[in-house]
């Protein structure tokens, strides 16, 4: 704090003070008071609210993280691997209802259907490589609507001649070898074990896999000759008597193989990718997680697809 500085004031010039005034000795001593004026008070600085900017930055960082994660997932799903689940038994016993698998998207290159909702800016296929091989298990878009995902096995390549006689495949006029395998056993609706005929087929390129013959005398086991057009593939399910596949198409012929919901030949542009391995399998509704210890098929998890 500043001190108050008191000093005696000088006498003013002019007439001397009156004698009486001096004699009496009553003249007061005049002093000047020099007071330093107080500095104006500085208003207090309002507190800075640092919490709001910090929260704002945190929200922005969270949004960025979510956006980056979605972009990475989109790239992986579009160009590398896409997960699918099996809702039907057309590929039994190779694939079971409740199997969850990864499909390799780059196996046959890319088309517009490699992108979500078929919105890819691609005409035909790019980077197709050698293309599908006989025996590959492939996910493709149903030619009838170009949106529904189907999964089947490639049996015929462009130019191949295919016919079924009594359930036996003839490929380019030669029978595809098949041998009996141990029966496939499943429970019927009453829980009674049921034995299904099972065969192992081997295609000309050496690819071998198991197929089921539920109804060996069924009409679908005897067909005309199919000639696969250029740029198309002939697909069949491994559950031969319970599979809507290339044997059935909306051809307008009016026979047993003419179906409005048929598959027919599959264009190369409709191929989505090659099924590679099962990463999860559950015999029951997936949301009933409390039942997983008993419904999860642990033996099928992380197994390759033949």
Enzyme catalytic residues: 90, 152
Distance separating alpha carbons of residues 166 and 189, to the nearest angstrom: 28
How big is the CA angle at 251 (ends 246 and 257), to the nearest 5 degrees? 55
Cβ contacts of residue 184 below 8 Å, gap of 6+? 92, 93, 195, 196, 197, 198, 210, 212
Q: CA Rg, the chain, in Å?
A: 44
Please report the sign of the dihedral spanned by the C-alpha atoms of residue 127, residue 130, residue 132, residue 135. Answer: negative
- Give the residue from 63, 233, 249 showing the smallest Cα distance to 139: 233
Distance separating alpha carbons of residues 213 and 195, to the nearest angstrom: 10
- Segment 246-251 long-range contacts (CB within 8 Å, at least 24 positions apart): 246/152, 246/155, 246/156, 247/164, 247/220, 247/223, 248/220, 250/144
Whether a cis peptide bond, with omega within 30° of 0, leads into 96 is no
């Amino acid at each position: 704090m500043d001190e108050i500085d008191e000093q005696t004031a000088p006498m003013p010039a002019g007439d001397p003070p009156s004698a009486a005034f001096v004699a009496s000795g009553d003249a007061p001593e005049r002093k000047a008071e020099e007071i330093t004026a107080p500095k104006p008070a500085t208003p207090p600085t309002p507190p800075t609210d640092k919490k709001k900017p910090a929260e704002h930055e945190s929200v922005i960082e969270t949004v960025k993280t979510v956006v980056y994660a979605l972009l990475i997932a989109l790239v992986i799903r579009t160009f590398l691997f896409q997960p699918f689940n099996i809702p039907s038994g057309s590929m039994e016993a190779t694939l079971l209802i409740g199997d969850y698998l990864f499909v390799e998207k780059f196996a046959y290159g890319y088309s517009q259907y490699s992108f979500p909702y078929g919105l890819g800016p691609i005409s035909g296929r790019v980077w197709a490589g050698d293309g599908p091989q006989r025996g590959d298990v492939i996910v493709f878009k149903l030619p009838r609507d170009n949106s529904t995902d189907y999964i089947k096995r490639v049996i015929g390549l462009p130019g191949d001649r295919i016919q079924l006689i009594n359930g036996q495949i003839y490929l380019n006029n030669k029978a595809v070898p098949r041998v009996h395998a141990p029966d496939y056993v499943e429970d019927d609706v009453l829980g009674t074990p049921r034995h299904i005929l099972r065969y192992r087929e081997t295609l000309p390129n050496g690819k071998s896999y198991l197929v089921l013959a539920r109804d060996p005398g069924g009409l679908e086991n005897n067909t005309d000759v199919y000639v696969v057009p250029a740029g198309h593939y002939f697909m069949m399910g491994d559950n031969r008597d319970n599979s809507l596949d290339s044997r059935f198409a909306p051809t307008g012929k009016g026979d047993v193989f003419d179906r409005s919901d048929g598959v027919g030949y599959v264009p190369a542009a409709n191929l989505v990718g090659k099924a590679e391995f099962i990463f999860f399998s559950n015999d029951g509704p997936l949301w009933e997680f409390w039942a997983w210890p008993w419904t999860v098929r642990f033996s099928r998890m992380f197994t390759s697809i033949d």
